[in-house]
């Protein structure tokens, strides 16, 4: 039984971790960390878990926690884990960090985009970027996994095969992304009130969203060169789901069969990635509640561009689902354990 | 392995049956019946099941099906099963009918409220009303189970303990119910278009909704007398969920403790029914995607009425979930098998 | 030109006042009061008004304001106006209060249900309850109008004719109400975040909602006797709209024609009240953005109850629209001026 | 009084025409044409208009209509008007066509993208493309106005100034558009059912949407050269609103001031176009129910691209609002008459 502690258990990603892990055969949550709800029943925070989880919320004492569990999930604000992590902790417990603290290798990029000083840059080198389909073997051996962002997971997986196969011009990549509102978290803000989001759509963080450099770094590894992209997120009146619509120029007039072959080559053994039938556009509803990534690509013969589309559930493959997938890899579990969930429709 | 055939597999309830049964340890769907989609891949109808279900849709040949499977689920329009059922079929296969054909014992009530002639009234007597928490033992032995309606399941379970314990005046019962739109089915109708339902709420079928006599019959058994109620359904702009707000006069000035004790007495061993903590009102979101029924009751000291509230997922406990629960009972399975699903939040 | 000041201009009701009054032929807003946004452009708070309103938000100085305008609208928290109102102010300016401070004649009822001490009970007697269809003549002469609550407006107008005509048993009245989320205001709270409201419905404030005594007082005047009701509000995933479904026992077996005649008698000259055709249930979408109240009644022959239904836009007839209607009456304007708005569909 | 006939009055755009025109000072609808609802009350189709419109629906007899009215609005399927239009009709009545029949000057482009033969290409030359901000003077003199598509209106107005000023590379334009569901019409289709659209987002018509050539033709006029773009529409779970996010490479490293100056130059006298303050992203909710176009542009210093954003209400500026704006121009009315509507928020 893998013993688990969650720090930040009462946010949406934390709640999703609990939903998944409760059904995991070989895992057991023994620490529901939440500074805001200490000593309150966890199921009073998430009442869907009434009579399912009887535990109470505990303080976020990472050092104490490190001696009690096998793995800690940190679903905490940026900078939190970086400010606490020490060799002593990481030598005793594996950590899967859902924040951005260890996602980027260049600490100056992190500090610039996030506007905070990194307090433990010495662990950046060691941290493994937890995009399972890309770094599976490294993840298996990791002590510290940086769980990717929601937009980034969807963007990278949607674009990677064509970039890696050299079919598209890297400097032409534009990512137009659309997200459900749970990505904005459970904190009370006017801009995420029901009446502000419902019957509305907008772009936000245009040219400045923090997931941009994360996407660029990972795509850069795939391309073997520095990549700069446009990334534009949008807020959609729905709870869950991210849809990425990405554009790029083809280098040559590659035919669709060759384009699709690139996806098949990279993803044919990936059980969570579904390359849809030709011409079918991904819909976020088809992956809701699951760890799937639905992908497709359409070629525009008139402009010689590809439109690459990907859909995930932002709380699953975009956060908690991928985190559990990482845990499974790190602990020698079957990769789908706890994640063999069928999307809920409608 | 229980071999299963579904007739009407391409409606919302059919799709939910597939979602549940795919994860059932001891069951296997071998017939996806759908007149409208014969020879098409089932996952082309419900693309959330892409690469999960590879089967194609078959014709609705109940006689052929009866010799191939152990149980048939009929998620079909009213009158369909009644027009086909024969002793030969029912002697070879168990049937769980999600339509209303065998729910009411008085055929004239059925014919009046549904406006159609019943073609096989000879099976009404035998049919067991598949409300598991009420008729568990009968269901175990049944050949033919009439799976309850969505509104009825929620209404009956919400009211039953107080009625059975004689605490409320039967003639005072008023049920004001609110349902998500999946209850209206997947057929294309103007009134269930997105733009007609979204940003809107209305009552419908006032005094005439077909679930009324079904609720009345079952509550009548509980009360040991004929019951006539007011039942008013409303259409809510959400996909899933039914909330019942029921009102009744207390016979005496019973205290809340006694009132809650009635619920505990009847439901304390029911793993799908959750009596919420005092003062907590059920929310449909807390049961979404699960087979739970969340219930609570509040006493109004000023009017000496009780407000009884219940919430279910209409496609789960209100349809497919309860149908699988019935199957589990009929085939000696653990009652929660396949149904141990945690509600999805948010 | 009626000169107008709004205190609390940056809440949803305040914004709706501005939307209406901007198109009013004989009114002009000269003071946009908002403590939270002093010195900021009003159109930065409500960007729908960009290039429409160029004014900036001012402090809530009611005494200064009283000397500058003809009428003040207070869309402020409970207790705010009561704590400031003085004879000096009210002698110089008319006030339309959208809070509950002067709605109820019995100060002890106010203090009990709202849990605050009333600081200026001396004005309660004078204040006119601003339900235009009921108190039109008194409103015309009033200095201080207590603008009714949203639920109360809809509930009272839906029930009043049958009560006044003595057709229903007062003690049998049950009001089951459903509201869009704008009624909860623009303050940032977790429970009104998009993800908490969307795909969800719940009752709240059961037996304890503050609009209960307000409904009871007004219905009591209509019935000529004290009235105690059950009132249960629900939160619906939509921005605007209130639907009331009210139940009552008929005293006699009155026929539907007589029942409808009661509504016609009371409302035939009311241009904002629409008695729908027989059998048509009101939908909130049909009144969205307008000052209409759509009403209908259905008789249940089996239980001898009536189901009375009413729909309003909670920000219009339930708040700002009615407030302007009151202003029109108080200042000798045509009652529909500024309010002749066609509902927006879809 | 301008006498008006509407053919196709019972679709969403038709309903919106009625909503607007009812409040127009100098216009009067005397013919509500609707093949599907002949002899039924118009307010039975759109019940928001109960007691507002008392007329009944008439057959679509364009010849009879031509002799009775001053202008006909055709909100009809593609090919309908083209199949009926004759010199006799057009010599007697002005026509504003909300379909695509006369939008494109090259009939072969129309026939290719719409897949139907054009039955009256002789009127294409004469027809004026009714984008008021671009063709105002021609519209004033037109007999036949082709009212632009919803996506096209928003896309063109968002991009045009930078293209006309030669600041962006025409071949780099990518338009990623998001639309509410009313754009799909009121016909009953499974794919626009509430449960299919709600909690979901998808792209559709990728590389093949019919508004593509219309955008290209108009942008081509602005650029003085042939333009080929990528256009990707998405379906958003909301009733109204289109948001366009358009991308293009800057030719030079133009500064933001110069970029914004291009918008100001072209739109400074346009009362329906609002160039938002620097850094503010348009939201569809801010224009809902109004004829406004909210636009802004952000420069990405890293990629030297501009992200141009525009928001409209698809039924207003994207259909009925613009149609009335055209009528006002054609009949010498004040351009804002009937359209001086403040967006509704929330």
What is the structure's pLDDT at D140?
98
Question: What is the three-class DSSP state of C15?
Answer: helix
Flag if A193 and C190 touch (Cβ within 8 Å).
Answer: no
In a domain, C287, yes or no: yes
State whether A109 and A234 are in the same domain. no
Q: What tokens were used for B159?
A: 């009211």
State whether C158 and C283 are in the same domain. yes
In a domain, B332, yes or no: no
Contact in structure between C298 and C307 (CB atoms under 8 Å):
yes
Flag if C198 and A239 touch (Cβ within 8 Å).
Answer: yes
State whether C108 and C168 are in the same domain. no
> What are the residues whose beta carbons fall under 8 Å from the beta carbon of A49, sequence distance 6 or more?
A15, A18, A19, A42, A43, B342, B343
Confidence of residue C151 (pLDDT cuts 50, 70, 90): very high
Query: H-helix or E-strand containing A84?
Result: helix A80-84
Q: Is D342 on the interface with B (CB under 8 A)?
A: no
Flag if C342 and D47 touch (Cβ within 8 Å).
Answer: no
Q: Is B238 on the interface with D (CB under 8 A)?
A: yes
Q: Which of C169, C182, C203, C236 to mutate to test the interface with B (most CBs of B within 10 A)?
A: C203
Does residue C281 have an active-site annotation?
A: no
Q: What is the CA radius of gyration of chain C?
A: 20
Positions in chain D short of pLDDT 70: none
What is the structure's pLDDT at A65?
95
What angle separates helix B150-164 from helix B211-223, to the nearest 10 degrees? 20
- In terms of DSSP bridges, do strands A27-33 and A2-7 run parallel, antiparallel, or are they unpaired? parallel
Q: In chain D, which ranges are continuous DSSP H helix?
A: 12-21, 42-45, 62-66, 80-84, 87-92, 107-114, 132-141, 150-164, 194-197, 211-223, 256-267, 321-330
Looking at CA atoms only, how far is residue B205 from chain D in angstroms?
18
- Which structural domain, as residue segments, surrounds residue D192? 151-314
Contact in structure between C219 and C170 (CB atoms under 8 Å):
yes
Catalytic residue among D57, D132, D150, D154: D150
Contacting partners of chain D (3+ CB pairs under 8 A): A, B, C
> What are the residues whose beta carbons fall under 8 Å from the beta carbon of D317, sequence distance 6 or more?
D153, D154, D272, D287, D290, D291, D292, D293
Flag if A342 and B287 touch (Cβ within 8 Å).
Answer: no
Q: Which of B25, B47, B273 to mutate to test the interface with A (most CBs of A within 10 A)?
A: B47
Q: How far is CA D187 from CA D12, D150, D193, in A?
A: 10, 18, 10
Flag if B281 and C206 touch (Cβ within 8 Å).
Answer: yes
Q: What are the pLDDT digits (tens) for B211-235? A: 999 999 999 999 999 999 999 999 9
Looking at CA atoms only, how far is residue D53 from chain C in angstroms?
10
> What are the residues whose beta carbons fall under 8 Å from the beta carbon of D58, sequence distance 6 or more?
D31, D32, D33, D34, D38
Residue B285 with chain C: CB contacts under 8 Å: 196, 199-200
Q: Is D111 on the interface with A (CB under 8 A)?
A: no
User: Which residue, C273, C285, C325, is CA-closest to C180?
Assistant: C285
State whether D196 and D117 are in the same domain. no
Residue range C239-253: average pLDDT? Answer: 98
Question: What is the three-class DSSP state of C334?
Answer: coil
Residue B199 with chain A: CB contacts under 8 Å: 198-199
Flag if C199 and B245 touch (Cβ within 8 Å).
Answer: no
State whether A46 and A181 are in the same domain. no
State whether B108 and B221 are in the same domain. no
What CATH number does residue B201 fall under? Answer: 3.30.360.10
In a domain, A133, yes or no: no
Q: Which of B51, B289, B346 sits opposite A344 (nearest CB)?
A: B289
Q: Rounded to the nearest 5 degrees, what angle is found at the Cα of C250, between the Cα atoms of C254 and B153?
A: 120
Flag if B188 and D189 touch (Cβ within 8 Å).
Answer: yes
Residue B207 with chain C: CB contacts under 8 Å: 298-302, 307
Residue D286 with chain C: CB contacts under 8 Å: 47-48, 50
β-strand partners of A294: A274, A311
Specify the DSSP class assigned to residue D147: P
In a domain, B273, yes or no: yes
- In terms of DSSP bridges, do strands D242-249 and D174-179 run parallel, antiparallel, or are they unpaired? antiparallel
Looking at CA atoms only, how far is residue B177 from chain C in angstroms?
10
Confidence of residue B26 (pLDDT cuts 50, 70, 90): very high
The fraction of chain B above a pLDDT of 90, given in percent, is 99
Q: Is C119 on the interface with D (CB under 8 A)?
A: no
Residue A311 with chain D: CB contacts under 8 Å: 202
> What are the residues whose beta carbons fall under 8 Å from the beta carbon of A121, sequence distance 6 or more?
A107
State whether D181 and D90 are in the same domain. no
What is the structure's pLDDT at A283?
98
Chain C residues 4-43 with CB within 8 Å of chain B = none
Q: Is B300 on the interface with C (CB under 8 A)?
A: yes
Buried b (16+ CB within 10 A) or exposed e, A52-75: bbeeebbebebeebbeebbbbbbb
Q: Is D288 on the interface with C (CB under 8 A)?
A: yes
Q: What is the mean pLDDT of chain B?
A: 98
Q: Which of B195, B200, B237 to mutate to test the interface with D (most CBs of D within 10 A)?
A: B195
> What are the residues whose beta carbons fall under 8 Å from the beta carbon of A66, sequence distance 6 or more?
A72, A88, A89, A92, A93
Q: Which residue of C has its CA nearest to B206?
A: C298
In a domain, C209, yes or no: yes
Q: Which of C47, C50, C342 sits opposite D23 (nearest CB)?
A: C342
Contacting partners of chain C (3+ CB pairs under 8 A): A, B, D
Q: Is A273 on the interface with D (CB under 8 A)?
A: no
What CATH number does residue A46 fall under? Answer: 3.40.50.720
Q: What is the mean pLDDT of chain A?
A: 98
The fraction of chain C above a pLDDT of 70, given in percent, is 100
The structure's pTM equals 0.98
Q: Which of B193, B314, B344, B345 to mutate to test the interface with D (most CBs of D within 10 A)?
A: B193
State whether C24 and C105 are in the same domain. yes
Looking at CA atoms only, how far is residue C230 from chain B in angstroms?
7
Q: What are the pLDDT digits (tens) for C80-110? A: 999 999 999 999 999 999 999 999 999 999 9
State whether D63 and D166 are in the same domain. no
Flag if B12 and D195 touch (Cβ within 8 Å).
Answer: yes
Flag if B300 and C346 touch (Cβ within 8 Å).
Answer: no
State whether C10 and C86 are in the same domain. yes
Q: What tokens were used for B58?
A: 């078959």
Domain boundary among B126, B160, B182: B126
Specify the DSSP class assigned to residue C251: S
* DSSP per-residue letters across B296-344: EEEEETTTTEEEEEEEE-TTIIIIIHHHHHHHHHHTT--TTTTT--PPP
Q: What tokens were used for D76?
A: 């009809």
Q: Which of C174, C241, C281 sits opposite B206 (nearest CB)?
A: C281
Residue D43 with chain C: CB contacts under 8 Å: none
Residue range A256-263: average pLDDT? Answer: 98
Q: What tokens were used for D286?
A: 């801010």
State whether C258 and C292 are in the same domain. yes
What counts of helices (H) and strands (E) characterise chain A?
Answer: 12, 14
What is the structure's pLDDT at D244?
98
Flag if A48 and B287 touch (Cβ within 8 Å).
Answer: yes
Is the interface score ipTM higher than 0.85? yes
Q: What are the pLDDT digits (tens) for B280-301? A: 999 999 999 999 999 999 999 9
State whether B164 and B296 are in the same domain. yes
For C41, other C-beta atoms within 10 Å of its C-beta total 18
Q: What is the mean pLDDT of chain D?
A: 98
What is the structure's pLDDT at B71?
98
In a domain, D143, yes or no: no
Q: Which residue of A has its CA nearest to D286?
A: A200
Q: Which residue of B has its CA nearest to A272?
A: B51
Looking at CA atoms only, how far is residue B210 from chain D in angstroms?
22
Flag if D230 and A305 touch (Cβ within 8 Å).
Answer: yes
What is the structure's pLDDT at B158?
98
Flag if A300 and D204 touch (Cβ within 8 Å).
Answer: no
Contact in structure between B71 and B327 (CB atoms under 8 Å):
yes
In a domain, B186, yes or no: yes
Q: Which of D46, D51, D342 sits opposite C19 (nearest CB)?
A: D342
In a domain, C75, yes or no: yes
Q: Which of D158, D172, D199, D230 to mutate to test the interface with A (most CBs of A within 10 A)?
A: D199
Flag if B240 and C206 touch (Cβ within 8 Å).
Answer: no
What is the structure's pLDDT at B265?
98
Residue B176 with chain C: CB contacts under 8 Å: 176, 232, 245, 247
- Please provide the distance, in angstroms rounded to a whole number, between the alpha carbons at the two ends of chain D: 34
Q: Is A283 on the interface with D (CB under 8 A)?
A: yes
What is the structure's pLDDT at C179?
98
Flag if D198 and B194 touch (Cβ within 8 Å).
Answer: yes
Q: Is B137 on the interface with C (CB under 8 A)?
A: no
Q: Which of A180, A237, A247 sits opposite D230 (nearest CB)?
A: A247
Flag if A192 and C193 touch (Cβ within 8 Å).
Answer: yes
| Domain tally, chain D | 2
């Amino acid at each position: 039984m893998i013993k688990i502690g969650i720090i930040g258990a009462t946010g949406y990603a934390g709640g999703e971790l609990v939903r998944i892990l409760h059904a995991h055969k070989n895992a057991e949550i023994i620490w529901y960390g939440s500074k805001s709800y200490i000593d309150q029943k966890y199921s009073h925070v998430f009442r869907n878990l009434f009579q399912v989880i009887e535990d109470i919320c505990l303080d976020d004492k990472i050092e104490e926690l490190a001696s009690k569990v096998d793995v800690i999930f940190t679903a905490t604000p940026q900078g939190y884990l970086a400010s606490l992590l020490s060799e002593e902790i990481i030598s005793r417990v594996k950590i899967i960090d859902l924040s951005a603290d260890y996602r980027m290798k260049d600490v100056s990029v992190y500090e610039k985009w996030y506007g905070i000083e990194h307090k433990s840059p010495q662990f950046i080198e060691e941290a493994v970027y937890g995009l399972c389909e890309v770094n599976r073997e490294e993840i298996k051996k990791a002590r510290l996994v940086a769980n990717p962002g929601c937009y980034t997971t969807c963007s990278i997986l949607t674009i990677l095969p064509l970039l890696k196969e050299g079919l598209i011009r890297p400097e032409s990549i534009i990512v137009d992304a659309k997200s459900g509102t749970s990505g904005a978290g459970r904190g009370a803000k006017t801009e995420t009130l029901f009446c502000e989001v419902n019957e509305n759509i907008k772009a936000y963080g245009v040219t400045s969203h923090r997931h941009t450099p994360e996407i660029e770094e990972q795509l850069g590894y795939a391309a073997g060169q520095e990549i700069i992209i446009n990334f534009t997120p949008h807020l959609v009146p729905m709870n869950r789901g991210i849809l990425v619509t990405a554009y790029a120029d083809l280098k040559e007039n590659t035919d669709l069969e060759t384009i699709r072959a690139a996806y098949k080559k990279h993803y044919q053994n990936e059980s969570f990635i579904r390359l849809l039938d030709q011409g079918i556009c991904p819909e976020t509803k088809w992956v809701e509640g699951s760890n799937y990534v639905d992908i497709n690509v359409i070629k525009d013969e008139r402009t010689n561009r590809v439109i690459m589309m990907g859909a995930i559930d932002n709380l699953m493959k975009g956060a908690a689902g991928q985190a559990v997938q990482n845990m499974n890899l790190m602990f020698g579990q079957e990769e789908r354990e706890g994640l063999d969930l069928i999307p809920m429709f409608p």
